[in-house]
């Protein structure tokens, strides 16, 4: 089985590859006439340095860490998205892309050294045991949480299915702490949240894991039944979605397309070029679609937005996306050695646009104003995007091909001009929690209802507020 994906921090799997075996012809390889002689000399140099560090460093180093850091240094020098995954990080990545694990079913965050419950997930062990939002968890199996990081605490709460754990809970309104025994079960991360906005179906897609497409289709079916014949259209919210599995991004795009290309991937060699095609059938029944994006929309999110934009199937509203247009391959290194994450290709939208270090520009730019308390904090910061990452891949296009049918303003019938690719920093990635304060969402609702006016749309100027890439977004609750 082979899976591919375009995540900003989650990645393409090559599950059938158990490791990497390199066979060197030692006799010929060390020959002065060998074309690889310089390579082997450099490898000998690495070995000399490694032994010198092991023998002479002021403290005895950890050999495993030395090798792991050396490998990671080699990979991270290539681009911002290639790296080494330790066995633990590799396992965590698999859990993230699979979208399910053994756990309790609560979203948590860290507050004043203890775990605070953001919300229990419906129909999970935690909700059945009576855990409530805003509960504080101070001990796990009678061991204090104080001193642990959020990641360490979450790891302790996760575990094999059908194993118990005791939580010590402090709850407002109760004088003394009390213990709650919870038995772990399979927890599925729901990457899709949907709700009715009167006559419009609103669907938030937070990531592209193995559950995304199925949950999207299920949500669309439920919303169709709830709204009924008055359904005007769909809002697909991809803001601050850092990416995910390629097959899921393709399936989500295909839900709204009847035919045509969805995405192209191009590797180092021409024979590595692949094209994904849409299949007949539109799950939205041809209803109007708006896709919301911002500076936190990266990778697989940009695949969906780019495909629907090029086919003129959706109106893209918001601000410029992050601009990650490269493909990573996860190559396992055996059962105990972790894996490497290696950039192996670039992806292109159906009209052959590379969004690498450029992003997807929305059809309608709507800026989200920052609240006053955040304006001062970011006043001196620059927008962030792929183009702002050190060592990022350059946009490969000599020219940028405009989407089919595009025409320059005021030149009816003229061909769309070709322009030099311009690398762009990202855009604002702030989204208010309150829907009524969400300028982009409110504009999308008015747009689908036919009541939007140009006066509400910001002019396409360079953003003055910084965008958060997937590694810089606001802290989010962690499910466990």
pLDDT in tens, 45-87: 999 999 999 999 999 999 999 999 999 999 999 999 999 999 9
Query: What per-residue confidence (pLDDT) applies to 84?
Result: 94
pLDDT at 23 over 50: no
> What mean pLDDT do residues 300-316 have?
97
Q: How confident is the model at residue 109 (pLDDT cuts 50, 70, 90)?
A: confident
Q: In terms of pLDDT, which residue wins out, 318 or 460?
A: 318
Give the model's pLDDT for residue 455. Answer: 41
The pLDDT value recorded for residue 364 is: 97
Residue 458 has pLDDT above 80, yes or no: no
Spatial CB neighbours of 388, under 8 Å, sequence gap ≥ 6: 382, 425, 426, 469
Give the mean model confidence (pLDDT) for residues 345-370. Answer: 93
Looking at residue 92, its pLDDT comes to 84
Average pLDDT over residues 254-282: 94
Residue 388: the pLDDT is: 79
Question: Is pLDDT of 19 > 80?
Answer: no
Average pLDDT over the chain, rounded to an integer: 82
Mark whether 310 is an active-site residue. Answer: yes
Return phi, psi of residue 211, to 5°: -95, -10
| Lowest-confidence pick of 111-125, 160-174, 392-406 | 392-406
Q: Cα separation of 18 and 316, whole Å?
A: 41
Is 385's pLDDT higher than 70? yes
For residue 17, report the phi and psi dihedrals to the nearest 5 degrees: -90, 110
Q: Is the pLDDT of residue 4 over 80?
A: no
Summarised one tens digit per residue, pLDDT across range 275-299 is: 999 999 999 999 999 999 999 999 9
Confidence tier at 413 by pLDDT (50, 70, 90): very low
Kindly name the residue from 204, 266, 324, 358 that is annotated as catalytic. Answer: 324
pLDDT given for residue 380 in this prediction: 65
User: Tell me: the pLDDT tens digits for 219-258?
Assistant: 999 999 999 999 999 999 999 999 988 899 999 999 999 9
The single residue of 299, 351, 388, 427 carrying the catalytic annotation is 299
User: What pLDDT, on the 0 to 100 scale, is given for residue 149?
Assistant: 84
Predicted local confidence at residue 366, as pLDDT: 95
- Determine the pLDDT at residue 2: 40
Q: Is 176 in the active site?
A: no
- According to the model, what pLDDT value does residue 467 have? 32
Domains of the chain with CATH codes: 3-23+37-97 (no CATH), 101-188 (2.30.42.10), 192-326+344-406+418-479 (3.90.226.10)
pLDDT at 452 over 50: yes
Confidence at residue 255, expressed as pLDDT on a 0 to 100 scale: 97
In this prediction, residue 257 carries a pLDDT of 97
pLDDT reading at 432 higher than 50: yes
Overall pTM surpassing 0.85 (yes/no): no
* Mean pLDDT for the stretch of residues 372-379: 74
The pLDDT confidence band at residue 473, using thresholds 50, 70 and 90, is very low
d(CA 362, CA 294): 9
Overall average pLDDT of the 432-450 stretch: 96
Question: Catalytic: which of 135, 237, 247, 310?
Answer: 310
pLDDT of residue 480: 59
324 given a catalytic annotation = yes
pLDDT tens for each residue of 167-195: 999 998 898 999 999 999 998 878 999 99
């Amino acid at each position: 089985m082979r899976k591919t994906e375009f995540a900003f921090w989650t990645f393409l799997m090559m599950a059938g590859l158990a490791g990497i075996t390199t066979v060197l012809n030692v006799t010929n390889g060390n020959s002065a006439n060998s074309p690889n002689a310089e390579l082997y000399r450099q490898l000998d140099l690495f070995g000399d340095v490694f032994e010198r560090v092991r023998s002479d460093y002021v403290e005895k180093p950890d050999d495993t860490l030395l090798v792991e850091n050396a490998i990671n240094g080699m990979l991270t020098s290539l681009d911002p998205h290639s790296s080494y995954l330790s066995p633990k990080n590799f396992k965590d990545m698999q859990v993230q892309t699979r979208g399910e694990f053994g756990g309790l079913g609560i979203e948590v965050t860290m507050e004043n050294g203890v775990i605070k419950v953001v919300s229990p997930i419906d129909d999970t062990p935690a909700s059945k045991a009576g855990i409530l939002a805003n509960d504080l968890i101070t001990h796990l199996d009678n061991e204090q949480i104080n001193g642990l990081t959020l990641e360490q605490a979450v790891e302790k709460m996760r575990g094999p299915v059908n194993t118990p754990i005791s939580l010590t809970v402090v709850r407002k309104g109760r004088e003394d702490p009390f213990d709650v025994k919870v038995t772990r079960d399979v927890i599925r991360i729901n990457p899709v949240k949907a709700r009715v906005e009167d006559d419009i179906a609103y669907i938030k897609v937070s990531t592209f894991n193995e559950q995304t497409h199925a949950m999207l289709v299920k949500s669309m079916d439920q919303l169709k039944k709830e709204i009924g014949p008055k359904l005007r259209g769909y809002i697909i919210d991809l803001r601050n979605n850092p990416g995910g599995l390629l097959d899921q991004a393709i399936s989500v795009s295909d839900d709204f397309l009847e035919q045509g290309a969805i995405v192209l991937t191009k590797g180092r060699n021409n024979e590595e070029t692949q094209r994904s095609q849409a299949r007949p059938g539109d799950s939205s029944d041809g209803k109007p679609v708006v896709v919301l994006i911002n500076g936190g929309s990266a990778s697989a999110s940009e695949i969906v937005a780019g495909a629907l934009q090029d086919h003129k199937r959706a109106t893209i509203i918001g601000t410029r996306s992050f601009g990650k247009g490269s493909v990573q391959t996860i190559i396992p290194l055996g059962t105990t050695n972790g894996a490497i994450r290696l950039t192996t290709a670039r992806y292109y939208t159906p009209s052959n646009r590379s969004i690498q270090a450029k992003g997807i520009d929305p059809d309608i730019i709507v800026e989200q104003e920052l609240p006053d308390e955040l304006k001062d904090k970011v006043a001196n910061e620059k927008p962030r995007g792929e183009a702002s990452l050190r060592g990022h891949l350059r946009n490969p296009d000599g020219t940028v091909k405009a989407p089919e049918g595009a025409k320059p303003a005021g030149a009816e019938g003229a061909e769309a001009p070709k322009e030099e690719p311009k690398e762009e920093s990202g855009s604002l990635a702030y989204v208010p929690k309150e829907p009524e304060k969400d300028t982009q969402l409110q504009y999308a609702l008015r747009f689908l209802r036919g009541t939007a006016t140009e006066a509400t749309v910001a002019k396409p100027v360079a953003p003055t507020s910084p965008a958060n890439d997937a590694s810089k977004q606001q802290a989010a609750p962690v499910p466990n």
